[in-house]
Amino acid sequence: MKKQKIMELEELKNAWTVLDNKLQKNEVLNERIVKEMLQIKTNNALRRLSNHEWMVTIMAFLGFPFLIFMYNNHLHEVNPKVFLLFKYLFIFCIISLVIHIPFQVWKLYTLMKIDFNKTVGENINLIQKYNIQIKRDKIYSGILFAIMAVVFFISIVIVNFPMKEIWRPIFIVCTFVFGALRSIWLYKKVYNANIQSIKKSLEELKELEEE
């Protein structure tokens, strides 16, 4: 009887060991699945940001020769009343673009450095650095946008003074309001949403590594 109980205890111990091994394997498998899902989520957000940054970079490089061409060939066609206003606006835009292009390339370079071959900590630092760059870009773009809006509005008022065609300034105001709302949507839905998604996924990956 005693021998039988010992055998039963041994069988129970062996069964528990087998079950424990299976649970450990399942835990490792589940952790691997979670890591893969987080990496896929991060890659998708990175791809969306990268595609947008490449598009902005290409537009910036194409915009520079376009502004130069317009300044040299078509500025004389502007109404004489606003010639100087537009002249200084073009110069301001050209200088702003010259400053912005290296910054845009720097943003893209920072984003492209995020790689799962690096440590999670390094990637978190990179996305935080990119987030700071986006905040600075938001301020810079807002100032540029406001200056252009004021200049265009003043030029329309000057050309049409005394005001006979009220639809022109209204059209300019509506256009820039639409542009401002679209920019707000862009920074919220494209930049902020994807940056926060990447940060959250990387932080969860870091927690898994520390467990």
pLDDT digits (tens, 9 = 90+) for 23-74: 565 565 567 777 888 888 889 999 999 999 999 999 989 988 888 888 888 7
Q: For Cα atoms 66, 71, 74, give the angle at the middle one, nearest 5 degrees.
A: 95
Mean pLDDT of the chain: 80
- pLDDT given for residue 9 in this prediction: 55
Q: How far apart are CA 7 and CA 1, in angstroms?
A: 10
pLDDT tens, residue by residue, 83-113: 777 788 788 888 888 888 999 999 999 999 9
| pLDDT reported for residue 22 | 56
pLDDT for 152 = 76
pTM of the model: 0.78
> Residue 88: its pLDDT value, please?
81
| Cβ–Cβ < 8 Å for 88, 147 | no
Confidence band for 13, pLDDT divided at 50, 70 and 90:
low
Residue 47 confidence (pLDDT):
92
Q: What is the pLDDT of residue 150?
A: 82
Q: Which residues contact 206 (CB under 8 A, 6 or more apart)?
A: 120, 121, 124
**Residue 129: its pLDDT value, please?**
94
> For residues 87 and 197, what is the distance between their CA atoms, to the nearest angstrom?
43
Q: Which residue would you say has higher pLDDT here, 80 or 25?
A: 80
Q: Which two tokens stand for residue 174?
A: 């509506």
